[in-house]
């Protein structure tokens, strides 16, 4: 029965009913209702330019980032994002002549950013891309992911062809064209697997098993080649639009984008003092980004040991090393009747606050911290994340400035996952905190960044076709 299933009781999305016991009269009640899509009309498509090249769960929409950049930064400023995800902050910072430091637990960031922030100055050739695709289809190279369960996720004949394509593309010196094909192959490798390609997490389903069985009776390889070709051409054209846009709007080289994937942002040193923080932490109901993208990571050459090590650092699979105390959070904690949910709550706020605090301590005095969150529910109780963050940081010398509420009009929900709250989350909130001129108490020293992390410095003088992965 459902009451004996702790995982299902940990509610994925808020319901229509909101518990009013946690609505307190306070100075924090001045919520400004906005629509970021209306406030930033110059961005009409959330996937414009390079934003849609990679699939990624719970993406930060660019209109919110652009609004925060326009309102709280100036040209040349450094922005830090400790939950960089698919790199939306980095792309928008680059387009707006800002610099950015991006941190994320997911190694995929290191593959995403060189392609999404392409530094080349010349229009890419469709003929060169087509030749590389043709060579790939004729290749006899082989690459099998270092993944013990790979056979579980693929029909043998499809796995053989994908291994051939990945074998070629992982070994070729095809530069930017190889990077484009890799991005297309990632989407095709999921589409032609047994996992549900309409949901973020890996989930082998009867529907998908039947779909692949039917596909194998058709011209499936022709369909696979067509998908890879179409996706590759679309990405190439998006990159060309990116080149044209930056040439038209920026006479000089743009800013630097530093990116560090595969690091715990709660426990590494932010490499420089920054002017603003713009980030969207994972929500209580959306934490398993490594598990959602591990198929991609394996095809890109990462090992099972690497992926498992990072997965163990994801919430809720790590224990809290301290208990965050605030008025609102304590009320939620006291109301929960199950110890496992209290532990999950404590884990979430411990590691989320650790990461935020680590980056926010590297901000200059008077800098703004722009934090985009939702209000999920746990065991039927609304958890006002923005309010808890306000309470925590104002007790440590930060000033609460504003909170914007953006009502969600459309959201892609996944009925196949037996979502207990099919209507989804109703609103999301952009919280603005201001660092006081007198520095807060410094956080304890954090570890250093790995030496092999990458950055996108000012445009290179060498060929723009350097390998983007």
In a domain, 121, yes or no: no
Given the structure tokens 């910072």, which residue do they identify?
Answer: 93
In a domain, 461, yes or no: no
Kindly state whether residues 85 and 137 are assigned to the same domain. no
- In total, how many domains does the chain have? 2
Kindly state whether residues 355 and 404 are assigned to the same domain. yes
Kindly state whether residues 161 and 281 are assigned to the same domain. no
Q: Dihedral (C-alpha) 447, 451, 454, 459: value to the nearest 10 degrees?
A: 120
In a domain, 117, yes or no: no
Taken as a whole, the chain contains a residue count of 469
Dihedrals φ, ψ of 98, to 5°? Answer: -110, 165
Helix axes 156-171, 220-249, angle to 10 degrees: 30
Kindly state whether residues 144 and 68 are assigned to the same domain. no
Kindly state whether residues 106 and 131 are assigned to the same domain. no
CA distance 157 to 462: 41
* Element at 453 (helix H, strand E): none
Kindly state whether residues 430 and 393 are assigned to the same domain. yes
* Domain endpoint, select from 203, 220, 246: 246
Q: How many CB atoms lie within 10 A of CB 125?
A: 12
Q: Name the pTM for this structure.
A: 0.87
If we measure between CA atoms, which residue out of 96, 84, 30 comes closest to residue 59?
Answer: 84
Given the structure tokens 């693929």, which residue do they identify?
Answer: 154
**In which domain, by residue range, is 324 found?**
2-110+256-456
Kindly state whether residues 67 and 144 are assigned to the same domain. no
Q: Give the pairing type, strands 274-279 and 257-261.
A: unpaired
Kindly state whether residues 378 and 421 are assigned to the same domain. yes
Cβ contact 202:295 at 8 Å: yes
The CATH number of the domain holding residue 359 is: 3.40.50.150
Kindly state whether residues 305 and 433 are assigned to the same domain. yes
Torsion over CA: 353, 355, 356, 361 (sign):
positive
In a domain, 465, yes or no: no
* Element at 373 (helix H, strand E): strand 363-374
SS3 291: helix
* Domain endpoint, select from 205, 228, 246: 246
* Domain endpoint, select from 213, 246, 279: 246
pLDDT in tens, the chain (469 residues): 333 433 333 332 333 334 444 444 444 567 899 999 999 999 999 999 999 999 888 888 999 999 999 999 999 999 999 999 999 999 999 999 999 999 999 999 999 999 999 999 899 999 999 999 999 999 999 999 999 999 999 999 999 999 999 999 999 887 999 999 999 999 999 999 999 877 778 889 999 999 999 999 999 999 999 999 999 999 999 999 999 999 888 767 678 999 999 999 998 999 999 999 999 998 876 567 888 899 999 999 999 999 999 999 987 678 999 999 999 999 999 999 999 999 999 999 999 999 999 999 999 999 999 999 998 888 889 999 999 999 999 999 999 999 999 987 655 444 444 443 444 557 899 999 999 976 554 444 456 666 555 556 444 333 333 322 2
Kindly state whether residues 186 and 151 are assigned to the same domain. yes
In a domain, 463, yes or no: no
In a domain, 180, yes or no: yes
User: How many helices and strands, by DSSP H and E, does the chain display?
Assistant: 15, 11
């Amino acid at each position: 029965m459902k009451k004996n299933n702790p995982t299902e009781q940990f509610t994925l999305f808020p319901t229509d009913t909101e518990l009013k016991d946690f609505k307190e009269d306070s100075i924090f009640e001045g919520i400004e209702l906005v629509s970021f899509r209306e406030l930033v009309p110059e961005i009409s498509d959330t996937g414009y330019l390079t934003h849609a090249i990679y699939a990624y769960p719970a993406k930060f929409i660019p209109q919110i980032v652009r609004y925060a950049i326009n309102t709280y930064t100036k040209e040349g400023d450094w922005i830090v994002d400790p939950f960089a995800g698919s790199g939306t902050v980095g792309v928008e910072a680059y387009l707006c002549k800002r610099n950015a430091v991006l941190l994320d637990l997911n190694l995929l960031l290191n593959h995403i950013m060189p392609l999404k922030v392409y530094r080349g100055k010349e229009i890419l050739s469709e003929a060169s891309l087509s030749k590389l695709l043709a060579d790939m289809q004729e290749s006899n190279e082989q690459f099998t992911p270092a993944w013990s369960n790979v056979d579980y996720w693929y029909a043998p004949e499809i796995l053989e062809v994908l291994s051939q394509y990945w074998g070629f593309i992982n070994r070729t010196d095809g530069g930017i064209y190889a990077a484009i094909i890799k991005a297309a192959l990632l989407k095709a490798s999921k589409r032609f697997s047994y996992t549900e390609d309409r949901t973020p997490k890996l989930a082998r389903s009867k529907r998908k098993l039947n779909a692949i069985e039917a596909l194998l009776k058709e011209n499936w390889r022709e369909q696979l080649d067509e998908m890879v070709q179409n996706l590759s051409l679309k990405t190439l054209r998006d990159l060309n639009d990116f080149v044209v846009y930056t040439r038209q709007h920026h006479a000089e080289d743009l800013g630097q984008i530093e990116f560090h994937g595969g690091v715990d942002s709660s426990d590494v040193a932010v490499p420089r003092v920054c002017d603003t923080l713009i980030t969207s932490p994972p929500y209580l109901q959306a934490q398993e980004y490594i598990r959602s993208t591990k198929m991609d990571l394996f095809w890109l050459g990462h090992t099972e040991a690497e992926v498992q090590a990072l997965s163990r650092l994801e919430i809720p699979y790590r224990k809290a090393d301290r208990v965050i105390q605030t008025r609102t959070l304590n009320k939620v904690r006291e109301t929960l009747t199950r110890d496992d949910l209290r532990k999950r709550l404590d884990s979430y706020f411990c590691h989320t606050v650790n990461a935020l605090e680590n980056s926010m301590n590297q901000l200059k005095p008077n800098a703004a911290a722009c934090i985009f969150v939702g209000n999920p529910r746990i065991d039927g109780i609304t958890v006002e994340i923005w309010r808890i963050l306000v309470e925590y940081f104002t007790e440590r010398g930060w000033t609460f400035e504003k909170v914007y509420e953006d009502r969600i009009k459309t959201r892609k929900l996944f009925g196949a996952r037996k979502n207990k709250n099919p209507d989804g989350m109703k609103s999301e909130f952009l919280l603005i905190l201001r660092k006081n001129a007198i520095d807060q108490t410094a956080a304890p020293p954090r570890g250093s960044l790995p030496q092999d992390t990458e950055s996108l410095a000012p445009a290179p003088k060498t060929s723009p076709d350097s390998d983007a992965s």
